[in-house]
Chains A and B, each alone.
Chain A
Amino acid sequence: AMDTDLSSQDRKDLDKFIKFFALKTVQVIVQARLGEKICTRSSSSPTGSDWFNLAIKDIPEVTHEAKKALAGQLPAVGRSMCVEISLKTSEGDSMELEIWCLEMNEKCDKEIKVSYTVYNRLSLLLKSLLAITRVTPAYRLSRKQGHEYVILYRIYFGEVQLSGLGEGFQTVRVGTVGTPVGTITLSCAYRINLAFMSTRQFERTPPIMGIIIDHFVDRPYPSSSPMHPCNYRAGEDNGAVYPSVEDSQEVCTTSFSTSPPSQCVFTVTKAHFQTPPPVVTDTLKVPVMGLAFSHQLSSSRLSYQPAALGVGSADMGYPVLFAGGLNAAHPHQLIGPGKEGGVPPVPSQPAHGTQADQEKMCTPLDGVHYSAATPSSSEDTETVSNSSEGKCGSPHDLLETIFIRKVGAFVNKPINQVTMANLDIPFAMFAPKNVELEDNDPMVNPPASPETESPLHGSLHSEGSSGSSTGNTHDDFVMIDFKPAFSKDDILPMDLGTFYREFQNPPQLSSLSIDIGAQSMAEDLDSLPEKLAVHEKNVKEFDAFVETLQ
C-alpha cells in the first residue's frame, strides 16, 4: 500500500540511492580507518560517477565486500548494514572498537521529494560521516597502526551486534534522512574503554571459522593480491589490476531542475560496462605503509593454522586472520576477498541475517577445535571435520545458533529497560536511563523552526538559547560550554545547560492557580465596601493630588 504513493520511477531511484549510499558509507568508514590521510579533488564539472556529488573513491575490494554482505538487499527494518571496526595486536589479541550501523526505521516521510531532497540529504549525511569518522577514538588509533596493531573491518547485514564493545560504550548519531519508505539512520557505537592492551584481557580461545581479512599488512606471499593504497594519486602507478576506481556499474548523472524550483528532473544512466571481478596478479608491487611488524604478524597467524595457510593463502592471495574465539562475537562472517583459486564457491545461502558465501573463505584447519559453546549440531561438526577442501560446511548455521539472540540478552540491565528495544533508536537498549523516547528525540523528530528571538548577537548570557521560543520545550540550543565568572560547581553541581533544561518548566505559581485565585477574589469582593468608605473619606486629598498632576 505504501508503494502506491510513490511512483515507480521514484521507487527505483530511491532504491538506487539507498544502495549506493550504503556502498559509499562503507567506503568512507573503511577509508577513514586505513591509517592515512585521505584527499580527493573537487571537480567543477560533474564526472557522472560521483554519487551524491562527493568525491569518494571506491576501493573495489571494499565495494565487493559490501555488495556481498548486502547480497542484493537494502537496509530495511530489522535488517541493518553494519561495519565493524576492530583492532588486532601483533600478539593476536583482538578487540572490537566500533560498530557503524546503517539502519532503516518505519517512520516514513511521504511528502519528501526523492530525487531531490532525499538525494541532497544523503549527500549531507555522507559529509557528516566524513566528519564524524575522524572524531571517534578509533580514528587516532588507526592513524597509529602498523607497529603493534592493525585495524580491521568487517561488514555484516542483519541484526546489530554490540556485545563486543564492552561495558559503557558510547553512541553517536551521524544523522537521519527521511524517505517515503522509511527513515535512514546512520550511527556509531564505540568502545570507550581502550585500556586493554594487556594480553591478560583476552582469552586465547581457539579460533573459529570466522575470518577477517586485514587489508593493511604487507603480504608475505609473492602471489599477494594488491593492497589498495589510501593515497590514490600514488595508486595509479600500480597499474590497474582492479577496474579503475571511477568505474561503476551505474553511472549517476543528475540533473536538477529549478523550474519550478521544487521540481527535479533526475536522470540516471547505466553505463554499459561491467565491473569485472577482482583479479589477483602475481607481480603487483604492494606499497608498504610503513608496517614494521607485518611479517611478525603473519607468523603469529601462521601459528593458528600451520599447514592450511601455506596452501590456502597462496591461492586466496590474502593472509587470513582468525577471530579470537567466540568471545569475539563474529556471528556474521565476512570478508572474503572473493578470490578464485583453490577455493570452490559455495552457493549462496538465503541472505536474511546471515552471510552468503562466507564459507568460501574458510580454510581447512588441522585439528580444528571449537570452544565448548559450539552447539553440537552433528551435521555441522561432521561437515567441518570432514572438510578437506576449502569448504567449511555450514558455519553460518553454527554461528546462527550461537548468536541469534535478542539484543537485550547482552545487557546487564533490569528487565524493565528491555522494553526500550521496541524503540527505533539504534542502541536504545543501551542508552542511559534518562534517554528520551523517540518522539521527544529532536534527532528523530526535528522541532519546527522556532520563532527566534534575538539570536545571540553580542549577548553572552543567553545560555546558548539559539532563539528557542518560550513554550517550545525542545532543545533548540545545541551546545555551550558556559562557565560564568565565579560560578562554583559545588554549590549547584550541574552546568548551566542542564540547569536550564531541568528547570525550564517549573510548576505554576500557586497564586496563579484557580482555587486560590477564586478565594482571594472572594476576599477582595468582601473588602470592597470597606475600601470604598475609606476612599470617600479621603476624597478631598485625592482631588488635591489630581490637581497637582494637571
Chain B
Amino acid sequence: PLRSRCCAPSGAGPAMNCRAEVLEVSVEGRQVEEAMLAVLHTVLLHRSTGKFHYKKEGTYSIGTVGTQDVDCDFIDFAYVRVSSEELDRALRKAVGEFKDALRGSGSDGMGQISLEFYQKKKSRWPFSDECIPWELWTIKVNVVNLANEQERQICREKVGEKLCEKIINIVEVMNRHEYLPKMPTQSEVDNVFDTSLKDVQPYLYKISYQITDSLGTSVTTTMRRLIKDTLAL
C-alpha cells in the first residue's frame, strides 16, 4: 500500500511514523521573528539533552542543560530557551531568513517554517545516507498589517495570548511520550543527535520554510541544511 511520508520514502527503510504537528499564528510583521523563536526554542528545549560523554563499557553520562528566560519586545510574551548561544544563533539565522522572505516581493505575507527532527541511516556506497524524519513541526504564519497604534497594542496582547496557547499545545504533544529515537551507542550518536554544539545536544534537526507567493503557489526555499534527498526520488 502506498504510504507517504514526510520525506521521500526510503524503500528499504524501517516503517517509521513521523508525527507532524501544525501551529498557526497571525502576527504583525515585526512580531514574526520573536513568535517563531518562541515556538522553535520551546520545541528544542524539549528536544535537547546535555552533551553525552561516553565511557568504557558502553556507558555514558549526560551534561547539564541550562535555561534562560527571554522577553519579547514586540509581543507581551516571555519564553524559556536552552542556554546555548550557538543554538540561539542558528535559530535566529533561520528565522531571519524566513522573515526576509516573507517581506520580500512576491509574498502575500503567508508562509510556513518547519522544524524537522530526523535520524540518519547510513547506506552503503554509492547510496547517500538517508534522513528519516520522526517529528515535524510546522508553523504557519500569516502576516497582518495594522493601521494604527491602538490596533498594534491589542495585537501585542492577543499574539501573546495566542503564543501561550501554542506553548501549552507543544507541551501536550511532548507529554505524549511517543516515539523517540533509541539512545545511541557512541558510534551511532551522530546519526541521532547534533553533536556539533559545545554545550547542548539537540536531536538532529533541519529547518526549512515555504513562502506562498501572491499567486497562491508555494515557492519552496530551503535552508542550506536541507538535504536534497527530501526532494529526490
Contacts and interface: CB of A to CB of B under 8 A. Distances in A.
Contacts of A259: 57-58, 185
A131 B83 contact: no
B183 A258 contact: yes
A100 B111 CA distance: 37
A380 to B, nearest CB: 44
A197 interface: no
Interface string A93-120: 0000000000000000000000010000
Given A39-B83, A43-B66, A255-B59, A452 B49 contact: no
A42 B65 contact: yes
B6 interface: yes
Given A47-B64, A175-B175, A135 B83 contact: no
Contact of A456 (B61, B76, B136): B136
B21 A466 contact: yes
Contacts of B140: 460
Nearest to B133: A455
A256 B18 contact: no
A253 B71 CA distance: 33
A40 to B, nearest CB: 4
Q: How large is the interface on B (under 10, 10 to 19, 20 to 34, 35 or more residues)?
A: 35 or more
A501 B162 CA distance: 22
A132 interface: yes
A466 B20 contact: yes
Contact of A478 (B21, B45, B177): B21
B46 A37 contact: no
A36 to B, nearest CB: 8
A258 B168 contact: no
Nearest to B78: A134
Contact of A454 (B4, B163, B182, B185): B4
Interface in A305-342: none
Interface string A173-187: 111110000000000
Contact of A39 (B69, B171, B173): B69
A443 B171 CA distance: 11
A499 B42 CA distance: 29
B51 interface: yes
B125 to A, nearest CB: 26
B61 A443 contact: no
Contact of B79 (A42, A134, A452): A134
B179 A449 contact: yes
A258 B78 contact: no
A453 B4 contact: yes
Nearest to A128: B171
Interface stretch (B22-30, B92-100, B146-154): B22-30
Given A175-B171, A258-B184, A41 B66 contact: yes
A453 B71 CA distance: 38
Nearest to B178: A449
B80 interface: yes
B168 to A, nearest CB: 6
A137 to B, nearest CB: 9
A176 to B, nearest CB: 6
B58 to A, nearest CB: 3
A134 B80 contact: yes
Main secondary structure of the interface of B (DSSP, over half): mixed
A42 B20 contact: no
Interface in A28-74: 37-47, 50, 53-55
Interface string B1-44: 00111100000000001111111111000000000000000100
B67 interface: yes
Contacts of B71: 37
Contact of A130 (B45, B62, B199, B210): B45
Interface string A448-471: 011111111110101010110000
A443 B172 contact: yes
B196 interface: no
B122 interface: no
Given A54-B65, A128-B46, A174 B171 contact: yes
Interface stretch (A6-14, A386-394, A479-487): A479-487
Interface residues of A, number: 72
A442 interface: yes
Contact of A446 (B61, B162, B178): B178
Contacts of B67: 38-40, 54-55, 127, 130
B214 interface: no
Contacts of B173: 478
Contact of B64 (A38, A55, A262): A55
Given A128-B175, A134-B79, A55 B65 contact: yes
Contacts of A460: 140
A265 interface: yes
Contact of B62 (A39, A135, A254, A450): A254
A40 B68 contact: yes
Interface string B163-192: 111111111111111110011111000000
B107 interface: no
A121 interface: yes
A172 interface: yes
A261 interface: yes
Contacts of A121: 177
Contacts of A47: 64
Interface string B124-147: 000000000000101010000000
Nearest to A466: B20
Contact of B58 (A42, A124, A257, A462): A257
18 contacts: A37-B78, A38-B67, A39-B69, A42-B82, A53-B49, A257-B60, A258-B183, A449-B17, A452-B18, A452-B20, A455-B6, A455-B18, A455-B19, A457-B6, A466-B19, A478-B21, A480-B24, A481-B162
Closest 8 CB pairs of A and B: A259-B58, A455-B20, A175-B175, A37-B69, A454-B4, A135-B164, A40-B66, A39-B68
Given A42-B200, A45-B63, A480-B23, 14 more contacts: A40-B83, A44-B198, A46-B53, A124-B175, A134-B79, A258-B58, A258-B184, A443-B172, A443-B176, A446-B176, A452-B19, A455-B5, A455-B19, A464-B22
